[in-house]
């Protein structure tokens, strides 16, 4: 897996997701995937919406091609990121779901709960998410309805 010519992936985590984010950074480096770490940078208590909004804003501005957000459950990050038009954040706990979120829903942000999955499962989730491509076709019509609210 190489990512030498594509935009980087935006990473964000709150204090509960910090350690898992660090593990995912090592995996991305090993896979030669460019990323930008938007924090947090330690385990001091923080507010997850700050990082969700930073990554989601990077998606909507075109700065990042995809995003990864980690908190205790992944749910708070997903809710906050999905407030941004055009962001489709999926909270996943297994590789099949991560792959399908990309293939059928054109998810552009993967949310992971550090208190739900361990680092090896999180790496599998991330690899599945990155390797999958949106299939378009009938799924494009459905995704358009997500964005339009229709």
Which of the residues are catalytic?
71, 104
Query: Which residue from 20, 12, 2 is spatially nearest to 116, judged by alpha carbons?
Result: 20
Task: Provide the token pair at 106.
Answer: 């054109």
Q: How far apart are CA 76 and CA 63, in angstroms?
A: 23
Helix ranges (H only) for the chain are 18-30, 48-61, 75-81, 95-105, 119-131, 138-148
For 150, half-sphere exposure in the C-beta direction (CA atoms, 13 angstrom radius) is 6
Q: What residues does 37 pair with on adjacent strands?
A: 11
Paired sense of beta strands 66-71 and 35-37, if any: unpaired
Alpha carbon separation from 146 to 78, 82, 106, 107, 149 (Å, rounded): 15, 11, 11, 11, 5
């Amino acid at each position: 897996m190489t990512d030498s010519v594509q935009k980087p992936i935006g990473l964000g985590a709150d204090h509960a997701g910090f350690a898992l984010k660090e593990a995912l950074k090592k995996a991305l480096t090993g896979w030669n995937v460019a990323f930008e770490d938007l924090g947090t940078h330690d385990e001091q208590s923080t507010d997850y919406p700050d990082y969700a909004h930073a990554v989601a804003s990077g998606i909507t501005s075109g700065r990042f091609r995809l995003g990864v957000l980690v908190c205790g459950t992944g749910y708070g990050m997903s809710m906050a990121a999905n407030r941004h038009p055009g962001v489709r954040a999926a909270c996943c706990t297994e590789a099949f779901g991560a792959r399908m979120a990309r293939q059928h829903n054109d998810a552009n942000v993967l949310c992971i709960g550090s208190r739900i999955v361990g680092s090896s499962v999180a790496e599998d989730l991330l690899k599945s998410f990155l390797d999958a491509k949106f299939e378009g076709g009938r799924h494009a019509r459905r995704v358009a309805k997500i964005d339009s609210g229709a």
